[in-house]
Amino acid sequence: MSVAKWMDEGETRVLQILFGSLAVDGAYYLGLYKNSAEPDENITVADLTEISGYGYARKSLARGSWTISGNQATYAEQTFLAQGGDWGNIYGYFITTTLTGTGGKLVAIEHFGTPYNIVDGKGIKIIPKITIS
């Protein structure tokens, strides 16, 4: 897997935190999506078809727990496991500002070149990475 790309909402959020008066987020959240086409940079969480059911839940990515090296931030490996049913094809992961729902801001997305078909009892391991350039 490569590196997530910034989404417009994420870039705007960074500007609002650094140069505006928006408070820093305490955590970010990692989720999986099923959209087969690579999402445009201007989409929101509501535009994604997120996995649901069978043990799925977004993972919390605590602030201060990222490893920063040069222009890249990397988080520890996160494992998602389907339990009780199949998730089907997973096309990528996203980072957002809320644990559930579509009201949060979409910070970044990594779209996989090839989907991963996740069946009951199997999972996917994600190492979230994001780069600035």
Q: Which residues pair with 50 in a beta bridge?
A: 33
Q: How many domains does the chain have?
A: 1
pLDDT tens digits, 63-98:
999 999 999 999 999 999 999 999 999 999 999 999
Among residues 72, 79, 61, 92, the alpha carbon closest in space to that of 125 is found at 79
- Domain holding 120, by residue range, is 5-131
Q: What is the pTM of this model?
A: 0.94
Terminal Cα-to-Cα distance of the chain (whole angstroms):
19
Looking at residue 14, the DSSP 8-state letter turns out to be H
What does the DSSP assignment read for 39-78? PPTT--GGGS-B--STT--PEEEETT-SEEETTEEE---E
pLDDT tens digits, 13-30:
999 999 999 999 889 999
Query: C-alpha 100: how far from its chain's center?
Result: 12
Helix or strand holding residue 30 (H, E): strand 27-33
> What pLDDT does 2 receive?
78
